[in-house]
Amino acid sequence: MKPIIARKTAFIAMAVLAAALTANPASAATVTDRSRQTVVRYSDLDLSRPEDARRLYGRIRGAAREVCESLRATDLQRAQIYKQCMHKAVADAVAQVQSAQVTAIAGADIQHPPQR
């Protein structure tokens, strides 16, 4: 059985600086040293139901966009950093949820991302 706390709240956290350093050391000066976090609550959802698992995945992606927004840019270098930030934030949160349904939805999204 999963701990109640883990079932009630998933934390999305990523080291923005680490993502920037991985992508390009020259861009590290433009990124803050602080990690950004947000909390995605899902105690109102039943993750055994596919529609609720999709709803949670949508919340996770929205929270990741919020956390990574400061990295969004049109130039290719910063766009790659933003993409890495989004991928890491979503992957970390999905792993914390420990739901086969949410993991499957995330896997399908990675293989066939929605057009944005």
The per-residue pLDDT for range 49-93, each reduced to its tens digit, is 999 999 999 999 999 999 898 887 777 888 888 888 999 999 999
CA dist., res. 76 & res. 80, Å (int): 6
Look at residue 40 and give its three-state secondary structure.
strand
The structural domain count of the chain equals 1
For residue 116, being part of any structural domain is answered with no
Asked if 23 contacts 80 with a C-beta cutoff of 8 angstroms, the reply is yes
The pair of structure tokens assigned to 49 is 């139901």
- HSE, CB side, 13 Å, CA atoms: give it for residue 7: 10
- 3-54: pLDDT as tens digits: 444 445 554 443 333 333 344 433 333 344 356 788 899 999 999 999 999 9
Show the domain range for 44: 4-111
CA dist., res. 15 & res. 22, Å (int): 11
Of 29 and 97, more confident = 97
